[in-house]
A = this chain, B = another copy of it.
Amino acid sequence: MPKAKYEQIYHILKDKIESGEYPAQALLPGEHTLIAELDCSRGTLRRAVSELVREGYVQTMQGKGVRNIFEPARQATFTLGTIETFAESAARNHWTGRSEVLLFDELEADEALAARTGFAPGTPLYYVRRLHYLNDRPLIMNHSYFRQDVACGLTRAIAEGSIYRYLENELHIAIINSKRVVTVEKITPLDQQYLDMGDCNCLAVVSSQTYNGDGVMFEYTQSRHHPNFFRFQDNAVRRQGSRAEADDAARGA
């Protein structure tokens, strides 16, 4: 249970929407009503609502109200606003997942690697290559690079378990944010060798750069997903002052 009041109110509203307490396509009670019901300030309520807007649960319209546009069949089954990950897919489908460390190494970033990852050339790194199984099918391969001066003491044994638990609980590294890019790439011989690709010759690639509390990008991971086990959800909200031309562009038209 989150302690921040706006998070509590966000969850209360979200639950009411998901449970059907507010009729679909209808307007929610007005702000002052909700403020009285939930016993909070206007700013707190508005912060909770804005999060629901971002997630595509409601839409707000000045002068009209807040409309419930939640769709159970399409939204209830998975988390909004993030890439559906290995663990989430597994949990949602009641599947069993396991991981395997294929390679653990120490190396220095050469020019090519530096350009791809964003590390400075010559940076000492750990390299971890991991394979993730879903129901015993190898479907995701991760290539991770960690700065040795931040993730110091990382070993293959740790990588067999949870690297992030080690970084946070043992080294007390604060993980702040992670920049990610999703692309689609042709498979490589390495993908071919390890992943159960069937007759697909492309896969979904998530490249992420992770930062600690000192602003240091200490991790670069490239996660290569079988197409059938990749899904990304998003909700684009229209900006107040935009025009039709901008919308055409924003939709690829």
| A245 on interface, CB distance cutoff 8 Å | yes
Identity of the chain B residue whose Cβ is nearest the Cβ of A3 in the assembled complex: B241
Q: Report whether B99 and A244 are in contact in the complex, using a CB–CB cutoff of 8 Å.
A: no
Report the separation of the CA atoms of residues A238 and B168 in the bound assembly, to the nearest whole angstrom: 13
Number of A residues with CB within 8 Å of any CB on chain B = 87
Q: Report whether A178 and B251 are in contact in the complex, using a CB–CB cutoff of 8 Å.
A: yes
Give per-residue flags for A49-78: 1 if the beta carbon is below 8 A from chain B beta carbons, else 0: 000010010010100100111010110000
Partner of A236, one of B53, B168, B180: B180
- Within the complex, the shortest CB–CB distance from A143 to chain B, in Å, comes to 12
Of the A-B pairs whose beta carbons lie under 8 Å apart in the complex, a sample of 20, sorted by A's number, is A59-B211, A61-B213, A73-B118, A87-B252, A88-B249, A162-B245, A162-B248, A164-B247, A165-B245, A168-B244, A177-B235, A177-B236, A177-B237, A178-B251, A182-B232, A184-B202, A184-B230, A185-B227, A201-B202, A223-B251
Report the separation of the CA atoms of residues A236 and B221 in the bound assembly, to the nearest whole angstrom: 14
Report the separation of the CA atoms of residues A241 and B8 in the bound assembly, to the nearest whole angstrom: 13
Nearest 8 pairs of A and B residues by beta carbon: A184-B227, A202-B202, A182-B232, A87-B249, A85-B252, A165-B244, A168-B244, A86-B252
| A25 on interface, CB distance cutoff 8 Å | yes
Note all chain B residues with C-beta closer than 8 A to A4.
240
Assembly of this chain: how many copies? Answer: 2
Partner of A231, one of B163, B183, B235, B238: B183
Q: Report whether A215 and B169 are in contact in the complex, using a CB–CB cutoff of 8 Å.
A: no
Q: Report whether B253 and A2 are in contact in the complex, using a CB–CB cutoff of 8 Å.
A: no
Note all chain B residues with C-beta closer than 8 A to A236.
82, 177-178, 180, 208
Q: Report whether A200 and B186 are in contact in the complex, using a CB–CB cutoff of 8 Å.
A: yes
Report the separation of the CA atoms of residues A119 and B184 in the bound assembly, to the nearest whole angstrom: 29
- Within the complex, the shortest CB–CB distance from A158 to chain B, in Å, comes to 12
| A112 on interface, CB distance cutoff 8 Å | no
Given A86-B252, A249-B85, check contact A176 B59 (CB 8 Å). Answer: yes
| A181 on interface, CB distance cutoff 8 Å | yes
